Amino acid sequence: MRILLAEDEAMMAEPIMTYLGWHGHQTDWAENGLKALEMAFSNAYDCLILDVMMPCMDGVSVLKQIRREGSDVPAI
């Protein structure tokens, strides 16, 4: 499974990515909302994990934009 993790704190992102990797998931990391949005439109993800409070654009706004573009990828 390919997952996009949008999290602005590296100390939070690294253990999440490690854990997901142990379970066989490929995880890409976006450190802010704009980067997450760009990556979501550039790649095919099976799931999005979005931090609510991030720089540039919050996770809720990222998800709203992704939904406006017609994607129904599952998101947490």
The pLDDT value recorded for residue 38 is 97
Q: Is the dihedral of CA 52, 55, 61, 62 positive or negative?
A: negative
pLDDT under 50: residue ranges of the chain: none
The model's pLDDT over 24-44, given as tens digits with 9 standing for 90+, comes to 999 999 999 999 999 999 999
Which residues lie across from 28 on neighbouring strands? 4
Distances (CA, A) of 8 to 16, 20, 71: 13, 17, 23
Give pTM, 2 decimals: 0.93
